[in-house]
Amino acid sequence: MDHFLYRNGQLHAEDVPLAEIAASVGTPVYVYSAATLLRHYRLYDEALAGMPHHVCFAMKALSNLAVVKLLGDAGAGADVVSEGEYRRARAAGIPGDRIVFSGVGKTRAEMRVALEGGIRQFNVESEPEMDALNAVALSLGTVAPITVRVNPDVDARTHAKIATGKSENKFGIPISRARAVYAHAAGLPGLKVVGIDVHIGSQLTELEPFESAYQKVAALALALRADGHEISRLDLGGGLGIPYARSNVAPPLPSDYGALIRRTVGDLGCEIEIEPGRLIAGNAGILLTRVIYDKAGEGRDFLIVDAAMNDLIRPAMYDAHHDIVPVIEPDPDLDPRAYDVVGPVCETGDTFARGRMLPPLAPGDLVAFRSAGAYGAVMASEYNSRPLVPEVLVQGDRFAVIRRRPTFDEMLARDTIPEWL
């Protein structure tokens, strides 16, 4: 469910007409619904009610300060994968003891920033990282809380580029080596083992891969406790998918996911940590764009819009589907047309959809790319020297620009020409 609905023939974000935002901010622009963000966070929180738990929003999905503050004020923690995301989380008001630091390539500088600023735990991904974190912690006279990310060799049955739990993926340590790695950690005075971490991928549309992974984690927790380790937390990652096409079968609900967690690891007495991103943010955002041209090609029609692959790279990078809808509700009596929906960037890859059946559209018409809240703005760039796409947050009948579009002068001013040129 989201809060982008037609009212009186116009698509709204909550109580705000999208045409009003386009007139004020211009296009392309990302628009987020606060009500949807909060609803989806609360679905996860309620799914784990009655268990000690901590829901950490995966900031790699959507890291705007206003969004992170909105979720943080509702009780969410943050899952970060870089110093920049850590600093964003703290700037948004999330305390260090609600921030989990993940990622395969943490630097010593990043470790130091998090230890000095406060951290719930580091999800350690390798023995060299473990040794580096131990050294940094000792240099600061502190102890770093850690989990070890284990790779359970489970096929998440998702896109190859976002699968993270197979043995050939770069993430974590093989679960077969976990007991030896935990023994190594126990001998490092700058570290304190608090639990186990696992994350098998993103955009999962069925529960069975989670169940396979969590059963392995449960068995490992018992083995590690037998070895004398304190296992009080289980970080189970994120990855639950969303329906990008309205015609798709809906993925499992957070309530189903919560029931699975209770069934597989609920009897271990551990605090449960989860790191959802896509399901919280995905359907909470749209990319609003305007038609520039309707171009007739050889055997196909092109709808050229002012958004491009630099604004939303998911279709080019992952062959991702986004439903595309007109802002003015179409007349049901009009026959749809097949369009290739493309942007103005000088690459054939700048294609959002091929042969997509849409109502007839004309230059100047506004259209919305649905389910664009996750991995949209955070992956945007200024390729082709196009200004970075702005972001807008809607709450009720109000909206605010939460990242403005830079001017061309600001873009040019970031470059420096050497004096000898």
Assess if CATH 3.40.50.300 describes domain 4-31+282-413. Answer: no
CB atoms within 10 A of CB 269: 11
Segments of the chain assigned to CATH 2.40.37.10: 4-31+282-413
346 is catalytic: yes
Helix, strand, coil fractions of the chain, as percent rounded to 5: 35, 25, 40
> Residue 247 — very low, low, confident or very high, per pLDDT cuts 50/70/90?
low
Rounded Cα gap, residues 146 and 133, in angstroms: 10
- For CATH 3.20.20.10, the residue range(s) in the chain are 103-274
Decide if pLDDT at 169 tops 80.
Answer: no
Whole-number Å distance between alpha carbons of 21 and 31? 9
Percent of the chain with pLDDT over 90: 85
Establish whether the linkage from the previous residue to 28 is cis, with ω within 30° of 0: yes
Distances in whole angstroms, Cα of residue 75 to Cα of each of 52, 86, 88, 100: 14, 17, 16, 14
HEC secondary structure over 236-288 = CCCCECCCCCCCCCCCCCHHHHHHHHHHHHHHHCCEEEECCCHHHHHHHEEEE
Residue 159: pLDDT over 50: no
pLDDT for position 166: 44
Averaged pLDDT for residues 403-410: 98
pLDDT in tens, 73-104: 999 999 999 999 999 999 999 999 999 999 99
The backbone torsions φ and ψ at residue 410, rounded to the nearest 5 degrees and listed phi first, read: -65, -40
Q: Name which CATH class applies to 103-274.
A: alpha beta
Q: Which of 249, 346, 362, 412 is catalytic?
A: 346
Averaged over 393-399, what is the pLDDT?
98
For 357-371, write each residue's pLDDT tens digit.
Answer: 999 999 999 999 999
pTM of the model: 0.94
With beta carbons less than 8 A apart as the criterion, state whether 115 and 137 touch. Answer: yes
In tens, the pLDDT along 37-69 reads 999 999 999 999 999 999 999 999 999 999 999
Averaged pLDDT of the chain = 93
pLDDT of residue 200: 85
Mean pLDDT for 167-191 is 86
Distances (CA, A) of 247 to 134, 193, 204, 251, 351: 50, 45, 17, 12, 21
